[in-house]
Amino acid sequence: MVSLSLSGINDLLGQKGSVKFMETYSCNEITSNLDQEDKFFQLIDLNQADPTSSKIGNCKLEKASVLWEYIHSDAFLHQLPDDIIFAWGASHDNQTQKLYALKQRGKSAPELDDTDIQNVAIKKDNNDENYSLLISFSEEGAKEWETLTGKNVGRDIAIVIDGKVYHSPRLSEQIKGGECSISGKFNESEISKFKELLEPSH
């Protein structure tokens, strides 16, 4: 089982949508393909970007629509892998929005979604007030989870809800057994709502 640490649950309270666990591209894998004079670098702040992270950088809110249109243009996309898709982070402050680079599902890029989730349970940690969620995948989902984590040791896996990246924890090892533990500083109300968001709809 892997423990994924999350924060920012309040940004998703009240929403209910599809859940996906997706492979990612790193910041360096994106920027190294671009010309140094590319318009992209004028629209996004990379000053504090981690080259190995799937969070590419921060975009000022007033530039977000311009950046979004540009990164979906043929002129920009032809410089990058065919299976790349971009997504905003679910949480943002009043000034900036986080941009992430994800990989679309394909034969070489297995992708878990809410149909692969079998059960979600709440666990309260002993001796403190923190809660965590225990996710169990179906038999088929467990196989995909093992494959997905095995291919991405040392890389980020994005947890995507309704098309936005909620978190992108880094995998330290391949995970077998079809289980995942998500922990963080949640109160009882927050963890219950998060459970609703992740519970399978089937």
What pLDDT score does 64 carry?
Answer: 95
Same domain flag for 87 and 183: no
**Listed residues 103, 128, 163: the one ending a domain:** 103
| Residue ranges of the chain whose pLDDT lies below 50 | 9-10, 13-14
What pLDDT score does 120 carry?
Answer: 92
DSSP labels, the chain: -EEEEE--GGGTTT----EEEEEB--HHHHHTTS-TT-THHHHSB-TT--TTSSEEEEEEGGGHHHHHHHHTSHHHHTTS-TTEEEEEEEEE-SSEEEEEEEE--BTTB--EEGGGEEEEEEEEPTTSS-EEEEEEE-HHHHHHHHHHHHHTTTSBEEEEETTEEEE-PBP-S---SSEEEEEES--HHHHHHHHHHHS---
**pTM surpassing 0.75?**
yes
**Listed residues 84, 103, 122: the one ending a domain:** 103
Q: What pLDDT, in 10s, does the model give residues 88-109?
A: 998 767 789 999 999 987 765 5
What pLDDT score does 88 carry?
Answer: 96
Domain interval for residue 91: 27-103
Same domain flag for 38 and 118: no
**Listed residues 64, 85, 103: the one ending a domain:** 103
Same domain flag for 49 and 16: no
What pLDDT score does 84 carry?
Answer: 95
